Structure 1
Amino acid sequence: MWRHIASNALTFLLLAMFLLGGVILWGKGQYQAAGPLTDAICVEVPRGTNFDRVSASLVDQGAVTSGPILRIGADYAEKTDLLKAGSFLVEPGASMEQIVDVVTRGGASTCGTEVVYRVGVNRVSVQVRELDPATSAFVERAEFDQGVDETPEIYTDVKAKADTRFRVAVAEGVTSWQVTEALRGIDLLEGEVPEVPAEGALAPDSYEVRPGDDRAAILARMEAAQEVLVAAAWEGRDDNLPVSTPEELLILASIIEKETGVPEERRQVASVFVNRLNQGMRLQTDPTVIYGITKGEGVLGRGLRQSELRGATPWNTYVIEGLPPTPIANPGRASLEAAARPDSTEFVFFVADGTGGHAFATTLDEHNRNVARWREIEARQPAQEN
């Protein structure tokens, strides 16, 4: 009898183990299978929340079919305690396993609201935008000029949210003073800036920042990035350039940056300045004259006067020979590369052509004809605007 009971118990145990194994395999399959989402969504993970609340939210949004399976899978993977606060993009068809990885991986939020402080040559603007998960494109919700316009309420609201991301986007051609003043005006940053970094020392780029970040530390990040760019451009430079140090290359790149906003002609502009330097001609470029007047502190806001073109400053390349003593702005990677590897041309002149670019010339007669055409375009512009 006891043998019979033991045999039945063993059979029942084996059956239970078999069924449990099947359930585990089924659950694992559900955890790793493609999920029900047909469109991407943003999943917000509030600070201090737990997997119970996150799984319930995911079920409500139709991202997962079973909250318990999600929680068991996260616990089995030892990720239950790794939940990160933020707002995260979940792609269509994401499995529970992939979703758990997204909300526990860490790093910056990949979804939700973003505040971008744009440091431009003429203005510093603040843009509040939100990622549309359906298109993976940002939708602008507000934009205003820092220190000029009234601060919109939405900026105050999103700045206080834990999952909002912040970036400082520095445009090519801004001066170190402009960047420093912009950082001083960003209210979520902290710390004093003892002095403005050297002109040209900051890499134009987009930098992620966090509330409470130190302003001087952000500037140090920009300086370190520019050192890398300058070193790479110097290492890859052409032979026989009329510059003898990385600093001179940086100065030349800054002039190129200020002379053209057309990416395709940077190397042509660079060739003009290289040809002039090689031939002992003065560079005669207006942006250097402007820098001699403003020292990079703000925008001139008007045309140059003849007296200023003739006035002697260390940066007036209508007066001095060769390069000015310092850069006149912070050049980006493309201008550094153009200075290091200019086009091979015989151009020694250029003037605006009315399209945003320039007309290049090898002789003074050709240049004078280009200038005459530009004067005609200038003369027509007021009539077109009225």
Structure 2
Amino acid sequence: MARSSISLRFFLATLILAAAPAAGGWWAWKGQGPLRQDATVLVKRGTSINQMADQLERDGVIRSASLFKLWARARKLQLIRGEYTFTSRASLSDVAGKLRRAEIHYTAVSIPEGAHAWAVQKRLKDFVPEEVFWTLWKSPRLARTAGFEDAESLEGLVAPATYKLHRALEPEEIMLMLVEAFRNQVRPKLEGGALPPYETLVLASLVEKETKLPEEQPRVAGVYLKRLKIGMRLQCDPTSLYARWIAGDLRFTAPTPEDIRRSSRFNTYAVKGLPPTPIAVPSPSAIEAAKAPLSGKDLYFVATGQGGHNFAPSLRDHNRNVGLYRKELARQRKSARG
């Protein structure tokens, strides 16, 4: 009886010793990892399995780079460039699986209609360093890709859209994404208008910044086209602001008398004709308005103070509308005080 008991204990001990390595392996693979808080890891172009394993161990995402390398080679892992997020205590199995399935973390970045260079830069700041952005903004190669090789900047050559970005992308790739979208989605729509395509784009940007109302945009475009034909200065307030920003004064406030008088090729109060580039990303409705401006007698327009504009064929009528606008502003101020 005693001999039988000893044999049973010996068998059980042997079984436990044999199972221990397998249990340890299972725990190393499926057990909680060392990561104390959510983390992001970038897999950049050309990253090798060894580099990735060492980075994951160094960043505290996994405990064993060696075990990751063994698994990766056994599964013939192909690393896909991207940005990967891992939750706290993610197991080695979780980390490996996310990389194998290429579960890339994307950030949606919207470039809205009406955005100008400084707004685009701000929206891309987490993906394109500021200094690099301004260098690429004046890239002849990117302008050529957009379809306007003579354009001096990418102003207006970006499609208004929502882009899926990750931080493993190179800055130039991101900027290329924006201008390729313009080339495919916007560039064809600029053909066949009253002006050449690039001038249509410039005019559309002025219309976009003057009014967001689609029903008003053809009329605004008509005023500007009429002024162009008779050699009258466009006197577009948004261009005086753009001239301010180009000069390095980045106050985003209403134009001042100083802005109106500023000597700049972008300020249509100071020079005749269109500015040398667009001043913003125009909407499809603004482009359609610039392609087919409303023909009429109007030469002037001013805000109503209620979201729209009053148009006039003569300076006398325009001055009356300006008076109405000022009365409306005074009424609103009085109402606000009341």
Whether TM-score is above 0.5 comes out as: yes
Provide closer, same or farther for how the CA distance between residues 348 and 329 of structure 1 changes in structure 2, counting only shifts above 3 A.
same
Provide closer, same or farther for how the CA distance between residues 305 and 211 of structure 1 changes in structure 2, counting only shifts above 3 A.
closer
**Correspondence list, 1:1-386, <5 A:** 162=103, 166-185=107-126, 193=133, 194-197=135-138, 198=153, 199-210=155-166, 212-237=168-193, 241=194, 243=195, 245-295=196-246, 300-386=251-337
Provide closer, same or farther for how the CA distance between residues 216 and 351 of structure 1 changes in structure 2, counting only shifts above 3 A.
same
Provide closer, same or farther for how the CA distance between residues 297 and 216 of structure 1 changes in structure 2, counting only shifts above 3 A.
farther
8 Å CA contact retained: 1:174, 1:329 = yes
Distance across 2 between alignment mates of 1:226 and 1:365: 42
Post-superposition offset of 1:297 = 6.8
Q: Name stretches of at least 5 consecutive residues in structure 1 with no aligned partner.
A: 1-161
Distance across 2 between alignment mates of 1:229 and 1:203: 7
Post-superposition offset of 1:385 = 2.2
Q: CA RMSD in A?
A: 3.0
Kindly tell me the number of residue pairs found equivalent between the two proteins: 222
Distance across 2 between alignment mates of 1:296 and 1:214: 29
Post-superposition offset of 1:287 = 0.5
Post-superposition offset of 1:296 = 8.8
Post-superposition offset of 1:299 = 5.3
Post-superposition offset of 1:185 = 2.7
The one-letter code sitting in structure 2 at the alignment partner of 1:279 is I
Structure with greater helix share of residues? 2
8 Å CA contact retained: 2:113, 2:160 = yes
Post-superposition offset of 1:305 = 2.5
Post-superposition offset of 1:344 = 2.5
The one-letter code sitting in structure 1 at the alignment partner of 2:199 is E
The one-letter code sitting in structure 2 at the alignment partner of 1:315 is F
Identity of counterpart residues, as a percentage?
Answer: 37
The alignment partner of 2:298 has SS state of: coil
8 Å CA contact retained: 1:183, 1:215 = no
The alignment partner of 1:263 has SS state of: coil
Post-superposition offset of 1:258 = 0.8
Q: Calculate the TM-score normalised by the size of structure 2.
A: 0.59
Q: Name stretches of at least 5 consecutive residues in structure 2 with no aligned partner.
A: 1-102, 139-152
Deviation track 1:348-386 (CA, whole Å, cap 9, x = no partner) reads: 111101221111111222211111100101122222223
8 Å CA contact retained: 1:178, 1:298 = no
The one-letter code sitting in structure 1 at the alignment partner of 2:183 is E
Post-superposition offset of 1:294 = 0.6
Post-superposition offset of 1:204 = 1.2
The alignment partner of 1:207 has SS state of: strand
Provide closer, same or farther for how the CA distance between residues 298 and 200 of structure 1 changes in structure 2, counting only shifts above 3 A.
farther
The alignment partner of 1:351 has SS state of: strand
Provide closer, same or farther for how the CA distance between residues 281 and 337 of structure 1 changes in structure 2, counting only shifts above 3 A.
same
8 Å CA contact retained: 1:296, 1:329 = no
Post-superposition offset of 1:328 = 1.2
Post-superposition offset of 1:298 = 8.1
Distance across 2 between alignment mates of 1:179 and 1:298: 17
The alignment partner of 2:208 has SS state of: helix
Provide closer, same or farther for how the CA distance between residues 324 and 192 of structure 1 changes in structure 2, counting only shifts above 3 A.
closer
Structure with greater strand share of residues? 1
Aligned to 2:82: none
Distance across 1 between alignment mates of 2:167 and 2:254: 40
Post-superposition offset of 1:186 = 5.0
